[in-house]
Amino acid sequence: MFIGSGVALVTPFKKTGEIDYVTLKNLVDFHIEHKTDAIIVCGTTGEAPTLSCKEHLSCIEACISFADGKIPIIAGTGSNNTKTAIANSVEAQKLGADGLLLVTPYYNKTTQEGLINHYKAISNKVDLPIILYNVPSRTGLNIEPETFRQLFYECDNIIGIKEASGNISQVAHMLDLTQGDAWVYSGNDDQVVPVLSLGGVGVISVVANIMPDIMHEMVYDYLEGRTDDSKEKQLKILKLAKNLFSETNPIPIKKAMELMGMINGTLRQPLCDMSPKNTVELKSEMIKQKIL
């Protein structure tokens, strides 16, 4: 799929609320120029739950067009409605996406058997490589290592997982059960090196929206044997990563990008603007990191 740093891309909106496609193109160009290894569009950071079906597919199509084959585009097409997830995934494949990111069904909180049935139903309808997305803090549902193992071995196009549980022991168990063959991506910017040390291949990153070079280099430093350099980069971004998750993602990252002049920072409700206190702390750390 990809090795390195995939950016969990924000969806820029105009102040009137519509998707800002001009800015979206600028962001795609920015990541092509700054070492990002893949773009993940319409995920959590992209505020996918607030996009209409038409907007969702339009955003995916636009990113594929803007990328023009220069960088892989992975489409977030997950849903808590299996039929919707299938429909979105089929359309993303038709539009030319390079892969799919499928979050666990949220709110419904199905069983592990239900998870297996859900993912198999989607897998059977598309040929694209699939990355599962495990983020129990947001969905209320964890993909158990044994469940991942079954899906990995029984579905040819389920090739890996974005692991955002924060449970390093679980990551180790998943890689052990799949004999190190699964493509495991850290879903947490503060755990990239720990995941790589267990056999992971990269990160799907929020920090990469504003520091793409360092996230790419962190992964490749580790994989190419410069582990001390990789560790230094991991420690360097820890405070910034904490600031970027001081409020619900993507509130802080959009504020950071607004401060940098990359976007206007507009969010869709129910998300709201970042608090003044957290904004001051974020800005201070960005100045320390010399990105402001």
Peptide bond into 194 cis (omega under 30): no
Structural domains in the chain (count): 1
What percentage of the chain's residues is helix, strand, coil (to nearest 5)?
Answer: 50, 15, 40
Q: According to the model, what pLDDT value does residue 170 have?
A: 98
Does residue 243 lie in a domain region?
Answer: no
Q: Residue holding tokens 């044997």?
A: 225
- DSSP assignment string, 47-65: TGGGS-HHHHHHHHHHHHH
Does residue 287 lie in a domain region?
Answer: no
Options 109, 153, 162, 236, the catalytic residue? 162
> Number of C-alpha atoms within 13 angstroms, CB side, residue 290?
2
CA-CA-CA-CA torsion for 120, 125, 127, 128, nearest 10 degrees? Answer: -70
Contacts of 276 (CB under 8 A, 6+ apart): none
Give 30-69 pLDDT, tens digit per residue.
999 999 999 999 999 999 999 999 999 999 999 999 999 9
Does residue 116 lie in a domain region?
Answer: yes
Classify each residue of 10-42 as buried b or exposed e, where b means 16 or more C-beta atoms within 10 Å of its C-beta.
bbbbeeeeebbbebbbebbeebbebbbbbbbbb
Does residue 39 lie in a domain region?
Answer: yes
Does residue 273 lie in a domain region?
Answer: no
Q: Cα–Cα distance between 108 and 235 in angstroms, integer?
A: 37
Check which CATH number belongs to the domain holding 165 and give it: 3.20.20.70
Q: Which helix (H) or strand (E) holds 7?
A: strand 4-8
Mean pLDDT by 10 residues, the chain (292 residues): 96 97 98 98 97 98 98 98 98 98 96 98 98 97 98 98 98 98 98 98 98 98 98 98 98 98 98 98 98 96
Options 119, 133, 185, 220, the catalytic residue? 133
Residue 162 designated active-site: yes
The runs of H, that is alpha helices, within 7-52 are 21-33
Q: Cα–Cα distance between 115 and 201 in angstroms, integer?
A: 24
Does residue 117 lie in a domain region?
Answer: yes
Sign of CA dihedral 216, 220, 222, 228: negative
Does residue 281 lie in a domain region?
Answer: no
Sign of CA dihedral 18, 140, 203, 40: negative
Does residue 125 lie in a domain region?
Answer: yes
Q: According to the model, what pLDDT value does residue 1 have?
A: 81
Residue 65 domain boundaries:
4-226
Beta bridge partners of 133: 103, 162
